[in-house]
Amino acid sequence: MKKIIIVIGMLTVSISLFALYERLAHPPLPFSSLAPPEVAQKISASNAPLVYLTEEEDSLWYAVKETRTDLANQRIEEFMASYGWELRELDGNGLFFSNSDAKIILTTQKWTKNYTLVQVPKG
């Protein structure tokens, strides 16, 4: 009987440690259409400067593979410039772009130490 209790206890501890590791390795996402391990795999499999992740409600979500925020912002700026957008202002987590017809604000947030998420409003 003691062996069964010990085995069950060890299994419980193992499962709890695995769940904790997954939670720490992949923090929650600001969107629900993809799971954190899916996002991490999608980003690491791509060589693109910005990796398209998903579309939810009124936003498109991208990711940048950079540890430094200034380099992530630079990649975003270069990506947007290739579509005719010019960076007008950088304010905290907001990047303000404009072109001849419109203005757009992209917001960023650090997801893990290696990735920055970028929220692009639709429309």
Quick one: pLDDT at residue 3? 78
Higher pLDDT among residues 9 and 104, named by residue: 104
Task: Decide: helix, strand or coil at residue 55.
Answer: strand
Closest CA to 103 of 87, 83, 119, 82: 87
- pLDDT digits 0-9 by tens, 3-23: 788 777 777 766 655 545 555
- What is the model's pLDDT at position 24? 55
Q: What are the residue boundaries of the structural domains of the chain, listed by start?
A: 28-121
User: What was the pLDDT predicted at 111?
Assistant: 92
Could you tell me if 96 and 105 are in contact, meaning their C-beta atoms sit under 8 angstroms apart? yes
Kindly report, residue by residue over 21-65, the tens digit of the pLDDT: 555 567 889 998 999 989 999 998 999 989 999 999 899 999 999
Contact 57, 120 (CB under 8 A): no
pLDDT value of position 1: 76
Q: Is 28-121 CATH 1.10.10?
A: no
pLDDT digits (tens, 9 = 90+) for 64-101: 999 999 999 999 999 999 999 999 999 999 999 999 88
